[in-house]
Amino acid sequence: MVNRGSHHTRSFSSTSKSVSRKPSFFTITLCIILLSACSIFTFLFSIRNISDDDDHQKDRLVEHSESHSQSKSQFQSESQSLPVKVDRLAWLHLALLPILQVPDEQLWDVSFSYGLHPCVKPTSEYQAAQGSDRYITVRSNGGLNQMRTGISDMVAVAYIMNATLVIPQLDKRSFWQDSSTFSDIFDELHFITSLQGDLRIVRELPKELESVPRARKHFTSWSGMGYYEEMAKSLKDYRVIHVAKSDSRLANNDLPLDIQRLRCRTLYHALRFSMPIEILGKKLVERLRSRGGRYIALHLRYEKDMLSFTGCTYGLTDAESEELRIMRESTNHWKVKKINSTEQRIGGLCPLTPKEVGIFLQALGYPPSTLIYIAAGEIYGGNIHLSELMSRFPNLVFKETLATKEELKAFTSHASQTAALDYIISVESDVFVPSYSGNMARAVEGHRRFLGHRKTITPDRRGLVKLFDKLESGRLREGSSLSSRVQQMHKSWQGAPRKRKGALPGLKGRARLRTEESFYENPYPECICSSKAV
């Protein structure tokens, strides 16, 4: 694990020792040389990006450049009207500002983690569940990450109920419309064997039980230990219990340590992706590394279903807004039909737009040359909206540009499998930035915390929207003042170690549980320990 704190102190003290007595001519010259080398380098870099950008724009944005020039950033329209030389200097100016402000390690290094490390081993009292005469079958619902965390919960539930778990069926009806089975997405044999010491898992229900009457249950969401012990008793006459939904059926908090660790063993070790997914995922991470060394994985949740579901139409055309409204009203399981987009946005309930993400990352100090992997499905409106991010960060990489057609062929018609690739690339990235807080964002953030508090920058959307609106009305300008406010706002939003947050105060009953931070978003303290504890 990288220990940034001590490394930092060491290098600092050694330089101060050699410099302390003699701030000599040599030192000063060295500084000047370094500084100018740095700016020349940045200049060359930004020029390269401009030409990259130009190519991109030519290739991908020709049709839209006319009609959308109005909605483009001030920065871009400026560069169009000025002679090339000035244009490049403007780039250089903007490119240099944040680089000089923010030290490299602040942009990229993992959070100092105080010697914390993953801990998933059971305690000495722990015993495997013996249950062999009762079976639990599960229909896992939702997208990939909802299913993964749901399955981890079901492993714990089967353990508590002293039952054998049948490999879960995956959701084929959700928005994802994916026909993948468990073994298409996960390494089934590994799943079964790595949980051997916990409970029995079988591929299928034994033949003789296929026709016996089953107890069909919708377990209450966020239930605790007592609920499932009670269920085990009241359903003791059934040999097969069918669970209709797996998402959020288990409480986040107040469960025995061994149950929490079992959830972590399942999610972080047992639920390994299937070989083809793991292999391609690793390959793509290597390709990203070979392109630029470090990269940001941006979960750009600017997809049609999300915008329609949240009713966020800010920055969209009337036709687009109308299309999203119709989709929402005709999707039965989305309960809220009438949504005031303005209120959603002010409340911080909208995914950031590609343009907003661009402003955000630039304000944080990431230089335009930063390599950004877009972990997402199809971006709504495609290049029209993406161009507003690409104008600031031309080095955007998509699955489709990173992998060959041949490599992606087996995955493209399976949303869950492509999401698994995004998951791997996001967990492995140097910096993970989710533009919205969904299941994927939570799962990736939690996994990164577990693996050593890798940097996850969660945008404070409510705070940012206020700044964005000030920019739009001209009360604030981009540059160092915006930068310092954005950086200040996100000092403690970068995935540094902290214990999982409880419920918001003042709430009672189920509403409380809903506002707790998810166990899988932050498995500290149960699955992350200080050196002495384990």
Ligand X SMILES: *[C@@H]1O[C@H](CO)[C@@H](O)[C@H](O)[C@H]1NC(C)=O
Query: In terms of CB distance, is 340 or 481 closer to ligand X?
Result: 340
Beta strand spans in 6-122 (E): 117-118
**Residue 399: how many CA atoms within 13 Å on its side-chain side?**
27
Window 144-163: contact mask with ligand X (x via CB under 6 A): ------------------x-
**Which residues lie below 8 Å from residue 372, measured CB to CB, with a gap of 6+?**
295, 296, 297, 298, 361, 393, 395, 396, 397
DSSP result, 218-254 = -PPTTB-HHHHHHHHHHTTT-SEEEES--TT-B-SSS
The contacts of residue 198 (CB under 8 Å, 6+ apart) are: 128, 129, 155, 159, 262, 265
The reply to whether 344 sits near ligand X by the rule CB under 6 A is no
The angle subtended at Cα 447 by Cα 442 and Cα 450, nearest 5°, is 125
Which residue lies nearer to ligand X by CB, 4 or 200?
200
Smallest gap from residue 270 Cβ to ligand X (A): 21
Among 286, 322, 329, 343, binds ligand X (CB under 6 A): 343
| CB closer to ligand X out of 157 and 433 | 157
340 binding ligand X? (CB under 6 A): yes
- Tokens coding 36: 């100018």
The stretch near ligand X (CB under 6 A) out of 16-24, 215-223, 310-318, 336-344 is 336-344
> Which H/E stretch holds residue 299?
strand 296-299
Residue 133 touching ligand X (CB under 6 A)? yes
Is 131 a binding residue for ligand X by CB under 6 A? The answer is: yes
In the list 24, 130, 177, 317, the residue contacting ligand X (rule: CB under 6 A) is 130
Q: Name the 3-class secondary structure at 134.
A: coil
As a whole number of angstroms, the distance between CA 369 and CA 295 comes to 10
The window from 38-46, 125-133, 270-278, 326-334 that contacts ligand X (CB under 6 A) reads 125-133
For residue 240, give Cα distances in angstroms to 56, 188, 247, 473.
Answer: 57, 21, 20, 62
Is residue 29 at the binding interface for ligand X, with CB under 6 A as the rule?
A: no
**What is the smallest separation between the CB atom of 343 and ligand X, expressed in angstroms?**
5
Tell me if 484 contacts ligand X by CB under 6 A: no
Q: Are 396 and 376 a contacting pair, CB within 8 Å? A: no
- Cα 530 versus chain centre, distance: 25
Q: Toward ligand X, which CB reaches closer, 60 or 325?
A: 325
The piece of 91-99, 131-139, 506-514, 518-526 that touches ligand X (CB under 6 A) is: 131-139
Nearest approach in angstroms of CB 486 to ligand X is 24
Per CB under 6 A, which of residues 188..227 are in contact with ligand X? none
Q: Does 234 bind ligand X (CB under 6 A)?
A: no
Residues within the interface to ligand X (CB under 6 A): 130-133, 162, 340, 342-343
